[in-house]
Structure 1
Amino acid sequence: MGLGILNDKHLEVRFFRFVLLRAPLSLRLRLSQNVPGTTLFSQDPNAVAESQYAGVELSALKHGKGRNSHIVLVPQPSDDPNDPLNWPRWKKHLTYGVLMYGTVLCGALGPLVAGAQVEMAQIFGVSLQAMSRALGTALVATLGIATLVWAPLATKYGKRPVYLLSTVFMLVGTIVASEAKTYGVLLGSRILQGVGQAVCEFLCGSTINDIYFVHERGWPIALFTIALLNGINVTPPISGQVFAHLGWRWCWRIFYIATILLLVLQIFFLPETTYNRRRVVAPSKATDEKLSDLDKPELDQLESGSSHMHKQKKSFLQEMSLYSGPFDKDRSFLQLAFEPVAALLSPAVLYAVCTYGLYITFLVVIATGSAQVYVGVYSFGAVGVGNTYLAPLVADFLAAALVGPLTDYLARRLSAANGGIFEPEFRLPVMLAFFICSGAGFIGFGLSIRNHLSYWAPIIFAGILNFGITIGCHGVIAYVVECHRHSSDAALGAVIFGKNALSAIFTSFTNIWLAKGVDLAFIEMGILCIGTSLFTVPMWIYGKRVRSLIARKLHIERAAATVVDS
């Protein structure tokens, strides 16, 4: 048992670690099968390549350029100039910029008119609970269902048509909402918006993997996380100003103008990024001599990329084609749609749903509850309510800047203490910061209201709880990805589906919950965050056995061939 993590009894390495690591590759391939996620820890920039291309002469593979000329590229690009990995950097960054703009808009759509719920309920002649169901529950329930449809469509037919069609849904829904005269029309508009909004949350991460090499993905993924979370927090200060001076309908109108701009950008500057490439690798002669035919890895020759050498680069007009698929001809739509559902059986995914899903859900509850507090208790206007979200905004940026280096540092130190072996559970210690910050933030917010403290108290506590949520979300998602390295798309799709299901449940009775006392609701949210974060303890202890179970019984993630190749 290393550092409190129980060893697995089924997929553990058969020999002493020092013997195994020095054994010939053929012996390792034949005799060692390790728990998914368990791997050698290395700060070598080519450690990923050594794992990905075990038994291959790395010098024969394609390397980066300039200061990265010593890094073996993972994945290996083809010789086709249309391969997104071969795009010039300016084109990759432009595509990424369009993605981030769309992510911010998708995050903003949820709380866009949260501060106007009371007035809208009066205008449409419905209760506040009914308005909350239209603006919140209908949206997130649609998000969960739409994710199960969009994900297989993007895999089978490509990402570009899915991005464009989803933006059209979001645009139409927003236009309808801006002109809605009845409650039913408003409800329908939010359903349309949910269908469109569902795409960015799960598809952007996959698109980043399409256009960037592994060693380039750090900052794009970090900025994507910031864009997703801060799309929620940056909206109320802006929409509060619009609501106060122009009215709530103009919140929708300005948003659909922004959505029209997004659609234009996607049409011209978001080409298809899905690309089916063969593995372009060269077999190691030394490995060939040692391995029998049965032991040889299935590797394509370097010359396999020659079929792309004479391909012409697509023109700008050709890249604007709406459809370039299909890309997955082996699996049916139903098979692809079932993968995220099957991944819900993974204990690691269920842990993420109960933690990450709950934390993101609470961000929506915070938007509603804090607005009621600042208006009812502190007599803030719409502008004042919007300005209070600046503290969470700053806290999110600070947490996002710290959590990446912190998790890497902890992984490095814990792996060293574990004999150089990395376990995915080493991503979880940051949950201690969440445990402290979320508990203190939520409970402190509630107590500051109950005791009628200065408005600065809830503002500061709101910043603390958002700091904790950002760190907690990063730690949980990193853990899921490490546990499901070969099925991360399905696992993350399952997490998002579970998160949206939780959000639909909570938003359906948010106003009833808050009506019993906003102070009590925030204290209860703090207790729930503390309670769910304690799930981290059994995940730490039994996580390795859980990953073994995933590979052996659930068949969601395959067992690693070697410690290195996991």
Structure 2
Amino acid sequence: MPLGIIDDNKLEHVPGTAPLSELSRTDLEVAAGVDRGLLKHDPTGQIVLVPQPSDSPNDPYNWPRWKKEMFTIVIGYGCGCVGAIGPLLTPAFVPLATQFGVPLQRFTLGCNGSCIVAIAAGSLFCNTLAVKFGKRPIYLLTTLGLAVTCFWAAEVKSFGSLAGARALQGLCMAPFEALIPASVSDIWHVHERGFRMAIFNLGVLGGINLAGPIAGSVIEKGSYRIAMHGMGGAFVVMLLLVIFFMPESTFVRHDVINIDTTGHTVEVENPEKGEKSMRIEGRPTSTAASEPRQSYVSELKPWSGYWDKVSFWRTLIRPFFLILSPIVMWATLLFTICISWLVLISITLSQIFSAPPYNFSVASVGATNVSSFVASVLATLVAGYVVDGVATLMSKRNNGIFEPEFRLPVMISYLIFTATGFFAWGESLYNEDPWPIPVIVCMGLINLGVQLGTTSVVTYVSDCHREQSAEAFAIMNFIKNLFAFGLTFYANDWIAVQGVRNCFYVIGGTTIAVTLTTIPMYIWGKKARSWVYRMGVIDAVLKKAG
């Protein structure tokens, strides 16, 4: 029973479990039938690389460090732009609804609701295309689409045209929510992912939080059209970064020692020949090492030539079968709660702070998000080290064996910070406390907890379902955005009818109840991973050719 996790006795090896640190022990047999010297380690020689990279110089796991870091920087910038475009207009919802001559609830639904539901649909559609053709062409096309729709939205003459532009924007935003975690897993090993997942989350949350202060001032002193033109320019820059610094990360590995996703202690797989060897006596012979290194210029091609043999329609339904996994089911619940309440806050900020006793201007409403951004940055500085550090420390105490559930203790921070923030937010606004209390203290606590919580959840899913991470995040984003879309129907009226305290007391209580499900997930998570592997239904859909 490794540190409170109930062990499994039905598989020789449970997918996700892997050696991480050898602890300088010379007597440690990492896997039966595999000499320790056959496994590849990090430069220190102390941490086993999980997953094991191939010998190919073109394997993203073997990319130079600068190339991986540049890829991650583009992710951070791109997700920041995508995070910003969603709530860009929220500080001005009240005056813009008046300008377009529609009720506030209808404007919220058309401006943000159409965008959110399109993200949900786009998560599935773009994932299907990415699995079939690779991720790079999807990133390129959708980034171009984001630039075009921003310029379109800036020049609309009617509310219907604005809603249409926002819907198409949502479709193009989807890959930067659903595919990025899979891209991070494509290039970073298990012990390196926590910080990079935190960068992804910072991009999304930072964009959400910075959009308000910047756009609020621009809209108040100029117009929303200027703000949209500015976002269009930002996406043009993003397109250039994607072209030059985000090569294709999808890669088919040959003759690689599999120590984490197999049901056996070790396997050596050849994806093309469909061969598997359960035990090896030496490092597998491979021609991958002799492959010529792909030139930088060749990596600039929009499409690398990658092709998945599974049929389009089978690929489209793959994410729905991932929800059968208890891990994905739990993560979807937590991920939905983590993010959707932030959406509710963003679409009600103008309603709350434009009214008495605060009477904020458009710029001041937007500026309320500054504290959220600062909290997200602070959380990012520690999230990666905490998520990776806790997992590494627990692995050492577990005789050098990593369990994905070691990512979950960080959820304690989410429970404490976020739940406290929601209760305090509702109470302070009800009492009409001075604005620094709800804005700085409460929103800071909420965003601090959300950043830590989402990093933990996203990294856990990547560790449990590395080979199906794209499908897992597609279905997670699909459900999360459907839930957020539902919020746009009643969020403003909910607060108007029941009051802000009752509303956020319900949200705080719901957050506590949902987060407590982490306890059984931690205890029975390993058995859940074993059950998913033994069930075989997911693999039948994911791997069968169409």
- Give the corresponding residue for 1:487: 468
Contact 2:421 2:446 in 1 (8 A): yes
User: Secondary structure in 2 aligned to 1:234?
Assistant: helix
Residue type at the aligned position of 1:223: I
Q: Quote the Cα distance in structure 1 between the aligned partners of 2:191 and 2:4.
A: 31
1:513 aligns with 2:491: no
Judged with a 3 Å threshold, the aligned counterparts in structure 2 of structure 1 residues 45 and 464 are, in CA distance, closer, same or farther, namely: farther
After superposition, the C-alpha distances for 1:528-563 in whole angstroms (9 at most, x for unaligned) are 2122122223334443443333223364479xxxxx
Judged with a 3 Å threshold, the aligned counterparts in structure 2 of structure 1 residues 438 and 319 are, in CA distance, closer, same or farther, namely: closer
Residue type at the aligned position of 2:509: I
- Give the corresponding residue for 1:361: 340
Contact 2:325 2:532 in 1 (8 A): yes
1:422-437 matches, cutoff 5 A: 423-437=403-417
What is the Cα-based RMSD across aligned positions, in Å?
A: 3.4
Choose from 515, 518, 521 the match for 1:533. Answer: 515
After superposition, the C-alpha distances for 1:474-528 in whole angstroms (9 at most, x for unaligned) are 2322333343344333222222222122112222322222222233322222122
The alpha carbon displacement at 1:328 in A equals 1.8
1:146-545 matches, cutoff 5 A: 146-212=122-188, 216-279=192-255, 295-297=278-280, 301-305=284-288, 308=291, 311=292, 313-314=294-295, 316=297, 318-329=298-309, 331-376=310-355, 377-408=357-388, 410-411=390-391, 423-459=403-439, 460-516=441-497, 517-545=499-527
Q: Quote the Cα distance in structure 1 between the aligned partners of 2:186 and 2:327.
A: 25
The alpha carbon displacement at 1:61 in A equals 6.8
Q: Quote the Cα distance in structure 2 between the aligned partners of 1:336 and 1:45.
A: 44
Residue type at the aligned position of 2:333: C
Residue type at the aligned position of 1:350: M
Farther-moved stretch of structure 1 (257-266 vs 83-92) = 83-92
User: Secondary structure in 2 aligned to 1:155?
Assistant: helix
Farther-moved stretch of structure 1 (69-78 vs 236-245) = 69-78
User: Secondary structure in 2 aligned to 1:429?
Assistant: helix
Q: Quote the Cα distance in structure 2 between the aligned partners of 1:511 and 1:257.
A: 32
Judged with a 3 Å threshold, the aligned counterparts in structure 2 of structure 1 residues 475 and 123 are, in CA distance, closer, same or farther, namely: same
- Give the corresponding residue for 1:76: 53
Q: Quote the Cα distance in structure 2 between the aligned partners of 1:72 and 1:438.
A: 35
Contact 2:33 2:281 in 1 (8 A): no
User: Secondary structure in 1 aligned to 2:354?
Assistant: helix
After superposition, the C-alpha distances for 1:435-472 in whole angstroms (9 at most, x for unaligned) are 22222211111111111211111021111111122222
Judged with a 3 Å threshold, the aligned counterparts in structure 2 of structure 1 residues 46 and 344 are, in CA distance, closer, same or farther, namely: farther
After superposition, the C-alpha distances for 1:19-49 in whole angstroms (9 at most, x for unaligned) are xxxxxxxxxxxxx5244445566365999x9
The alpha carbon displacement at 1:223 in A equals 1.8
Contact 1:353 1:499 in 2 (8 A): yes
Contact 2:52 2:256 in 1 (8 A): no
The alpha carbon displacement at 1:184 in A equals 1.4
Residue type at the aligned position of 2:224: W
Q: Quote the Cα distance in structure 2 between the aligned partners of 1:41 and 1:92.
A: 21
1:549 aligns with 2:525: no
Judged with a 3 Å threshold, the aligned counterparts in structure 2 of structure 1 residues 448 and 552 are, in CA distance, closer, same or farther, namely: same
Choose from 51, 69, 80 the match for 1:104. Answer: 80
The alpha carbon displacement at 1:254 in A equals 0.5
Judged with a 3 Å threshold, the aligned counterparts in structure 2 of structure 1 residues 400 and 109 are, in CA distance, closer, same or farther, namely: same
**Higher alpha-carbon Rg:** 1
User: Secondary structure in 2 aligned to 1:428?
Assistant: helix
Q: Quote the Cα distance in structure 2 between the aligned partners of 1:535 and 1:315.
A: 46
After superposition, the C-alpha distances for 1:308-333 in whole angstroms (9 at most, x for unaligned) are 1xx374362x333222223323x122
Contact 2:213 2:365 in 1 (8 A): yes
Q: Quote the Cα distance in structure 2 between the aligned partners of 1:165 and 1:266.
A: 10
Judged with a 3 Å threshold, the aligned counterparts in structure 2 of structure 1 residues 34 and 319 are, in CA distance, closer, same or farther, namely: closer
Unaligned runs of 5+ in 2: 259-265, 268-275, 541-546
Q: Quote the Cα distance in structure 2 between the aligned partners of 1:437 and 1:312.
A: 47
The alpha carbon displacement at 1:139 in A equals 1.0
User: Secondary structure in 2 aligned to 1:430?
Assistant: helix
Q: Quote the Cα distance in structure 2 between the aligned partners of 1:44 and 1:493.
A: 37
Contact 1:143 1:194 in 2 (8 A): yes
Q: Percent identity?
A: 36
- Give the corresponding residue for 2:9: 12
Q: Quote the Cα distance in structure 2 between the aligned partners of 1:528 and 1:518.
A: 15
Judged with a 3 Å threshold, the aligned counterparts in structure 2 of structure 1 residues 104 and 347 are, in CA distance, closer, same or farther, namely: same
User: Secondary structure in 2 aligned to 1:526?
Assistant: helix
Contact 2:194 2:385 in 1 (8 A): no
When normalised by structure 2's length, the TM-score is: 0.85
After superposition, the C-alpha distances for 1:348-369 in whole angstroms (9 at most, x for unaligned) are 2222222211220111111122
Unaligned runs of 5+ in 1: 14-31, 559-566
Q: Quote the Cα distance in structure 2 between the aligned partners of 1:84 and 1:3.
A: 33
Q: Quote the Cα distance in structure 2 between the aligned partners of 1:38 and 1:90.
A: 29
Residue type at the aligned position of 1:549: W
Q: Quote the Cα distance in structure 1 between the aligned partners of 2:24 and 2:159.
A: 56
After superposition, the C-alpha distances for 1:77-97 in whole angstroms (9 at most, x for unaligned) are 4445x5545544444433333
Judged with a 3 Å threshold, the aligned counterparts in structure 2 of structure 1 residues 546 and 187 are, in CA distance, closer, same or farther, namely: same
Residue type at the aligned position of 1:527: G
After superposition, the C-alpha distances for 1:163-202 in whole angstroms (9 at most, x for unaligned) are 1111122122212211111121111101110111001122
Contact 2:185 2:466 in 1 (8 A): no
Q: Quote the Cα distance in structure 2 between the aligned partners of 1:303 and 1:545.
A: 34
Contact 2:197 2:455 in 1 (8 A): no
- Give the corresponding residue for 2:544: none
- Give the corresponding residue for 1:561: none
Contact 1:486 1:557 in 2 (8 A): no
After superposition, the C-alpha distances for 1:390-436 in whole angstroms (9 at most, x for unaligned) are 21112222223333443455446656776776544443333232222
Judged with a 3 Å threshold, the aligned counterparts in structure 2 of structure 1 residues 423 and 143 are, in CA distance, closer, same or farther, namely: same
Q: Quote the Cα distance in structure 1 between the aligned partners of 2:146 and 2:449.
A: 31
After superposition, the C-alpha distances for 1:338-384 in whole angstroms (9 at most, x for unaligned) are 22110112222222222211220111111122332222131222222
